[in-house]
Chains A and B, each alone.
Chain A
Amino acid sequence: MTSSSKTLTAPAVVVTNLVKQFGRFAALRGVSAEFAPSRLYAILGDNGAGKTTLLRGLAGLTPPTRGNISMLGTTNLRSVCGQLGYMAHPSLLYDEMSGMENLGYFARLYDVNDKDRRCADVIRAVKLDPSLTRPVGQYSQGMRQRMSLARALLNDPKILLLDEPFSNVDVRSAREMVSLLAGLRDSGKTIFVVTHQASLLEGAADEFVWMEAGQIVSRTPELRPAETRLETR
């Protein structure tokens, strides 16, 4: 489901010839793409395809070996990092603190206004209870994923980078997360989701981006059945 057709707007993210090598291993081998704003992109591919490396590059965590990344119109990623939300496979949370305490701290990092209310709102948005005093380390994996997503949403980012947000989450919660993401996309956010569970995003994602061996091999608006997936060049 895409939003109504827009007049030509500047792309939210532009990647030009992005190369990332770790020693002799090339994780990204020349990725070039433009990503329009206010879209939900599903990034798919086998293990080792480079999905996580691409996401970390966009987040500014891994400087590229070669090539350029432009976010929100600038190549100085540090200047726009306040408008990014990032979520990875590890929870990026402190196990010994409760959800509110965790988010309270991260809200300070982003200088969020009206901290406590924002934290509570965001926790409720992922269908968790803000008054829960249990330390995050004792959460179930699914709850931890959702709290991690809440952390990524704290600063109301324009661009969301989510790495495997649905792994270990039960199907119903996953569907709720997807509709949450779709709603965020409709309100103008650009969302990148790396996942192995492509079917969850069927109907919600605007585009499915397939990666293989460090390159983008196809971009399709629909999730095609496995048999007709384009072969790699």
Chain B
Amino acid sequence: MSSVVGLTRATLAKDLRLEWRSKDAINSMLFFSLLVVVIFSFSFDPTAEESRQIAGGLVWVAFLFAAVVALNQTWAREMRNQVLDAYRVSPAPPNALFLAKVIGNFIFVTVLQALMTPLFIVFYNLRALGPAYQLPIVAVLGTWALVVNGTFFAAMSLRTRSREIMLPLLLFPISIPALLAMVEATGAILTGEFSAKFWIVLLAAYDVVFTIASLFLFGFVLQAE
């Protein structure tokens, strides 16, 4: 077990170092996220009252699009020079690789969110009328939900044609309950009209179920040629 933790850490460190060295991926992603926020703001121009009700949906859809672009990059580095084969041939457990990728993506998407959120607040004059402390909880659980399945399906897409479109195609239907929960929870917190508790619990359940399922089944996906 300790080897999984150690290997996850080593792989994550390696990925972060590589990401840092080829900064073009981060920069273009950040700019893309900015564009998404601006486009959305042009498309939906609500009053302050309305915006609190729909902001949950807007924000998470924007995050989803940014996340998909980021997720498609996930395995790209491992496919160059077929480095993934080097991992597959080694005795290292597949789960360490998966966890490292998920955590790396989580960090990456969170950085994007950190950029996009203040912009949304500014463009939509957002203010939380409900318990604002719940917002980071929703953000963490929701992002993990997207990223854990996204990383898994991105790995599955490697073995398919049209792999860039395969990822959202597989990810979106399965993510529907999580998306609904994220949107409703955010809306509930911003408007203060409902309690977000049920949605937070649902998100947590979703995260647990799919993290376990992914860990169980990733080995199969990795060993598929």
Contact = CB atoms under 8 A, between A and B. Distances in A.
Interface stretch (B6-14, B127-135, B209-217): B6-14
A59 interface: yes
A95 B10 contact: no
Contacts of B6: 108
A81 B223 CA distance: 13
A109 interface: yes
B14 A93 contact: no
B90 A92 contact: no
Contacts, number: 71
Interface residues of B, number: 25
Contacts of B81: 90-95
A61 B89 contact: yes
A181 B17 CA distance: 33
Nearest to A85: B89
Contacts of A151: 86
Nearest to A93: B81
Contacts of B87: 109
A108 B4 CA distance: 11
Interface residues of A, number: 28
**B interface secondary structure, majority:** helix
B208 interface: no
B23 to A, nearest CB: 11
Interface string A86-121: 101011111111000100011011110000000000
A130 interface: no
A63 interface: yes
A142 B86 CA distance: 19
A187 interface: no
> Considering the complex of A and B, which 6 residue pairs feature the smallest CB-CB distances, nearest first?
A109-B90, A109-B92, A82-B91, A92-B86, A90-B82, A108-B10
Given A109-B87, A110-B90, 20 more contacts: A59-B89, A61-B85, A61-B89, A78-B91, A82-B91, A86-B85, A86-B89, A88-B85, A90-B85, A92-B82, A94-B14, A94-B81, A95-B80, A95-B81, A96-B18, A96-B21, A96-B22, A101-B17, A105-B11, A109-B90
